[in-house]
Amino acid sequence: MIRTKFVAVPTALVALLLAVSVSVPESAQSASRIQLSKPLIPGTGLKIEEMGDDFEDANWKWYTNGPKASRNLDRRERLPAAVSENELWFESTYRGRPDLVRRVGTPLGGPVGSKGSLLIRTLNSGVPGRFTRTSQQDDLIFGGGSRFGTFIDVKHQPSFLVHVYLPPWKYWDNITDSSLGIRCDVEGRPWKDLTRQLFTTRISDRTQTYWPGFFIQFNSPDDKRYNFTKPAALIIMRADERGEDVVGPEIKQPGWWTFGMSFTPDGRVHYYASPGVDPLTARDRIGSFFPYSNRTRKFNSFFFNVISRNDGKHWSTPWVIDNPYVHVATRSSLARKSRSSRTR
């Protein structure tokens, strides 16, 4: 995993990129020798209760267990890693944990009936005791799926859904940079041949792990490096067939947003985002890709990146998440083991 780069794109170009990001995979359908699946709306089918958390337990606790890991910077894991009491959430032994992980009351306008959400925020995102004064990130990993000792095959069309509260602009870290990552851990096989306009059906025998998802980038009007006149945020999708980040919609008003990703049998990843906490619809799809020219085969888990300046002074934006869950459109062996419930 690598941190996303800042993307400064005019609003008019954002609209053009959006059109391209959605239309490219569809245009390839007539020329490609593979059968593309219909995009799946995240949240469709069976909700796997063990593959998520609603944070409704008033006694939800997080144990830091000492200094954080920073193996990406100095090859040190500093075990034992941080963990939640319910053993669903873990520190990344690669990059380390956010400095603040706490159950809080659900902000106004959140999911119906929700009383608890999770606040994640970080200050010292690099090597403990060392300030780089450059953006670094910490990871909060959902590890509940490990209880099953298995993955979800994309033939069952898994999807991931989460509600995210974006605080008023005055509470954001006032710098133009990525601030939150919403990611999934998947496995797939790369294409052997990638022509200029289409994929062939020649798939490599090599399987690799990759981490598609979203980044939320703040565009600060106080950042003298750029000419933004009003605070706003961008949704950035990782990644297209060339491994490039793709600019999505602009967020002009903070508050609750819903993000989702789905994984279909053709190997594509579909990206959805919408303001509010209502169920996602087909209109909320903002992109469909074969990330890094891979054809996804297995869904493993999901996680969140929290990014700060790592200068010992500026905290990251305070992020609140709620009801992150995995669904499957068809009944898999994993769903049969779970106390699953049908949605949509």
Q: What gap in Å lies between CA 237 and CA 232, rounded to an integer? A: 17
3-state DSSP assignment of residue 303: strand
- Taking residues 107-121, what's their average pLDDT? 98
Per the prediction, the chain carries an average pLDDT of: 86
Distance of CA 11 to the CA centre of its chain: 23
User: How many other C-beta atoms are found inside a 10 Å radius of the C-beta of residue 87?
Assistant: 11
Q: CA angle, 179 as apex, 92 and 76 as ends, to 5°?
A: 25
Average pLDDT over residues 37-66: 96
- Checking if the pLDDT of 14 tops 90, the result is no
Instruction: Say if CB 342 and CB 45 are below 8 A apart.
Output: yes
Do 182 and 304 meet the contact criterion of CB atoms below 8 Å apart? Answer: yes
Q: What CATH class has 32-343?
A: mainly beta
Contact 144, 88 (CB under 8 A): yes
pLDDT at residue 23 greater than cutoff 50: no
DSSP 155: G
The structural domains of the chain, with segments of one domain joined by +, span 32-343
Indicate the residue type of 101: V
Residue 92 has pLDDT above 90, yes or no: yes
Residue 204, pLDDT score: 64
**pLDDT tens digits, residue range 269-295?**
999 999 999 999 999 999 999 999 999
Type and span of the H or E element at 298 = strand 294-308
pTM over 0.85: yes
Residue 17 pLDDT: 39
